[in-house]
Structure formats: C-alpha cells, structure tokens
C-alpha cells in the first residue's frame, strides 16, 4: 500500500493508531528517512504500545546481574518490531551512556547490531559524532572499545543504506501527511547542549591528572563557561573557607552532589562524603538495597582517582565488590583504607604517596573482616602485593597468614 492509499483509507479517522501502524509498515518496506521522522512525530502524540515495548527492554536489561545482561537485552529487543523510533531510542541510550560500565560491553554490541539491522540512514551521522565525542563510559579500555564498536557500526550502517532505493521527492501525499502531524519538525538526534555529560567530559582530564591544581582551576573556568555548577564548587573550594563559602558549598553539594559523585552516589553515604578542591577525597561505602549493576558501575568509575581515604562498611558493602573495585586503576591514589562493621573499625591500611601499604590496626581476628582485606590485596599488581607489611599490632601473626595466601 502506498502512502497516498494509506492516507485515503485513514482520512477522517479520529484515532491515529491505525495510521501509525500502517506508516510503520510502509517504512519497514522503504526505510525512507522523511517517513521515519513523520512516524517519530506522530508517535509522540499517539499511544500504540511502542513505549511499553521499550520499557520492557529496559526492565529486562536491568533486572538481574550484568553477566546475562546482553542475552536478556538481545531477547527483549527481538520482541520489538523494526520501527524508526527504535533508532532514536538506541542512539539516545548511547548518548546518555545508559549502561556505562565494561560489564555492559556485550549488551552494547547487541544494540549496535540491531541499529545496523534497522537500516535507518538517519543514525549514521549521530554515530560518527558519538564516536568522536564519546559520552561518559567508564574505564579507558572500555571507552576505547566503545569508540571502535561505534565507528564499526556507523560504517556497516552506511554500507547497508547505500544499497537502499533512493527515497522519492515530497509530493501531495507527503504534504497531506505533514498536515496531519501535530508535532513540529525537529532533529530528534540533536544532542543536549549541556548537562551532566558536558561536565564529565571536562573533568575527565582532572581524573587523569589528579594532583595538578592548575589543571583544576582551568577546568573550573571551562565548566563555568559551560554553565556547569561543578566549576563553581571547584572555584569555591580553592578559596579560604568562611561561613559564606561553606554555606555555598553545602548548597551546591545538596543540589548537585549526585552529579559530582557519579556512580559512587548510589553506594556511598551522603553524610560521609568529603570534597576538596571540587572533588571527592573521602567516602564510606554503604549501598543498602542497591543492585549489582549499581555496585559494578561504582567499582569502574573514574571518580576514585581523587579519593584518598575509603571506609568500607562491610555491613552493606558486598564482599565480591572489593576485589572488582581494587582492580580499577583509579584507586591507585588511595592512601588509607579502613574496613568497618556497624561503625566499628576492624582493620586499617595506610601508606605514604607512592609507597606500599602497611596494616596499622587490627581490631578483630575474624575471617569475616580479613576476607575483604584479602580480596583487596589479591587484586593489586604483584609488586604492590609483595610490598605490603603489617605493623606490630594485635592479631598481626594471624593476619600475616592471610596476607601470605593473598600474595600468591
């Protein structure tokens, strides 16, 4: 059925759902970009079940552990028919780095493959732009992987679209369809001019050089020019502390603290967050009722690069997480780690900058509290593991056995 025939059939109909279904069917046969835009505009004012399908995909991807995320998402996406609105959705997820950690790498390969299979030429330019200006995916290795995968998808999509028939020029039927659309024409792939993504791109260089105060000041200026409140926080914390500046800092952290903490916001206690010169320097992990995906994102976050003191509240911190977190290169600047339970200090490790850790306190000789210590030690590079020492403190002999085992 042609567009003109569809419009004749639906002329005068009050319910737009049938028109939307037929337009999607026509797009599946033609892949015309201007028809895809019309479907997007009509779909924003018409409920036809597409939105429910996307919600089901998100639920499937986020429910359960990250290990099976890609398979769950692949199965859920298979239940969604080809629709140009799916193109906009996936590109939107990509721009927002919806699942930022490396544990979602396979899931992103599934989404990019589906994007290519849609043969929607509108996605080529956005994919190329995302590859050049990558959203805040976590970890240098994963970021490089995502750039390569996105570039590969853009090229594959361009090859597929090159074989499609050229879309016809707008005609009377197109003009009639335009008259039916209540949503104004828009670029549905246009990125937001600013927001958390902008701030994360600018502060990335601070995480790469956490001891460079001049770089922090330059970054603050860039953030302020972009209208980002993070710049104001950095600027204020370089000034002498006064009641006025303290009040301003507290207001900024109360309003934007979740942005400044990133994935850590969900697994660290608000009351125990400490910021200096605009960045976290001390946290207490305690992610009560948080799922595994939130903990995994926190483990891989670059925000740890400026943190110097960490308190692991083992009442609410998963034991498996400690090793995953210790493998993050951003944790190499830590100077103090305390393992606690019900607010009581159980074990403390400290070091001078660039030196090895020394266990300086042990308040309990219990496997429950030496396990996270062993997990952390096992995740360190071999030379760092071998350099750890234990001070002359109670239970040192028993802990030494744990250390020897962890160093193997």
Q: Classify residue 72: in a domain, yes or no.
A: yes
Let me know if residue 273 belongs to a domain: no
Residue 101 is part of which domain span? Answer: 3-180
Residue 381 lies in a domain: no
Any domain includes 408:
no
User: pTM value?
Assistant: 0.61
Confirm whether 98 is domain-assigned: yes
Q: Is residue 64 part of a domain?
A: yes
Domain count, the chain: 1
Q: Is residue 68 part of a domain?
A: yes
Three-state SS string over the chain comes to CCHHHHHHHHCCCCCCHHHHHHHHHHHHHHCCHHHHHHHHHHHCCCCCCHHHHHHHHHHHHHCCCHHHHHHHHHHHHHCCCCCHHHHHHHHHHHHCCCCCCHHHHHHHHHHHHHHHHHCCHHHHHHHHHHHHCCCCCCCHHHHHHHHHHHHHHHHHHHHHHHCCCCCCCCCHHHHHHHHHCCCCCCCCCCCCCCCHHHHHHHHHHHHHCCCCHHHHHHHHHHHHHCCCHHHHHHHHHCCCCCHHHHHHHHHHHHHHHHHHHHHHHHCECHHHCEEECCEEEEEEECCCCCCHHHHHHHHHCHHHHHCCEEEEECCCCCHHHHHHHHCCHHHHHCCEEEEEECCEEEEEEECCCCCCCEEEEECCCCHHHHHHHHHHHHHCCHHHHHHCEECCCCCHHHHHHHHHHHHC
Q: Is residue 254 part of a domain?
A: no
From first to last of its 408 residues, the chain has per-residue pLDDT tens of: 888 888 887 776 767 888 899 999 999 999 999 999 999 988 888 888 898 899 899 888 877 666 788 899 999 999 999 999 999 999 999 988 888 878 789 999 999 999 999 999 999 999 999 999 888 787 778 889 999 999 999 999 999 999 998 888 878 888 888 888 866 777 777 765 445 567 888 898 899 899 999 999 999 998 998 889 999 999 999 999 999 999 999 999 999 999 999 999 999 989 999 999 999 999 999 887 788 888 988 998 999 999 999 999 998 899 889 998 998 989 999 999 999 987 788 999 999 998 999 999 988 766 777 888 999 999 998 899 999 999 988 888 888 888 888 887
């Amino acid at each position: 059925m042609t567009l003109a025939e569809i419009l004749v059939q639906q002329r005068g109909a009050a319910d737009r759902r049938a028109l939307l279904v037929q337009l999607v069917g026509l797009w599946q046969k033609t892949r015309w970009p201007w028809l895809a835009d019309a479907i997007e505009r009509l779909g924003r004012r018409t409920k036809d079940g597409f939105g429910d399908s996307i919600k089901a995909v998100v639920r499937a991807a986020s429910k359960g552990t990250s290990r099976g995320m890609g398979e769950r998402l692949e199965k859920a996406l298979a239940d969604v028919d080809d629709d140009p609105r799916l193109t906009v959705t996936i590109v939107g997820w990509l721009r927002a780095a919806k699942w930022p950690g490396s544990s979602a790498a396979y899931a992103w390969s599934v989404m990019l493959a589906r994007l290519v299979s849609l043969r929607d030429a509108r996605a080529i330019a956005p994919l190329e732009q995302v590859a050049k200006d990558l959203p805040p995916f976590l970890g240098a290795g994963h970021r490089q992987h995502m750039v390569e995968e996105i570039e590969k998808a853009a090229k594959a999509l361009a090859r597929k679209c090159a074989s499609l028939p050229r879309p016809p020029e707008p005609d009377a039927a197109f003009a009639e369809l335009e008259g039916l659309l209540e949503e104004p024409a828009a670029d549905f792939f246009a990125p937001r001019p600013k927001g958390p993504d902008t701030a994360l791109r600018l502060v990335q260089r601070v995480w790469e050089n956490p001891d460079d105060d001049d770089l922090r000041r330059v970054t603050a200026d860039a953030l302020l020019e972009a209208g980002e409140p993070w710049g104001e926080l950095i600027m204020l914390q370089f000034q002498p502390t006064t009641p006025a500046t303290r009040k301003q800092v507290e207001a900024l952290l109360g309003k934007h603290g979740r942005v400044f903490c990133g994935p850590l916001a969900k697994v660290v206690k608000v009351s125990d967050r400490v910021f200096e010169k605009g960045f976290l320097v001390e946290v207490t992990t305690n992610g009560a009722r948080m799922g595994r995906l939130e903990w995994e994102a926190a483990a891989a976050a670059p925000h740890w690069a400026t943190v110097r003191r960490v308190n692991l509240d083992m009442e609410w911190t998963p034991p498996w997480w400690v090793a995953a977190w210790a493998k993050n290169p951003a944790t190499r600047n830590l100077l103090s780690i305390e393992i606690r339970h019900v607010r009581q200090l159980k074990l403390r490790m400290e070091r001078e900058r660039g030196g090895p850790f020394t266990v300086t306190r042990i308040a309990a000789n219990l496997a429950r509290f030496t396990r996270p210590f062993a997990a952390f030690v096992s995740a360190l590079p071999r030379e760092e593991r071998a350099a750890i020492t234990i001070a002359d403190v109670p239970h040192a002999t028993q802990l030494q056995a744990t250390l020897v085992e962890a160093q193997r």
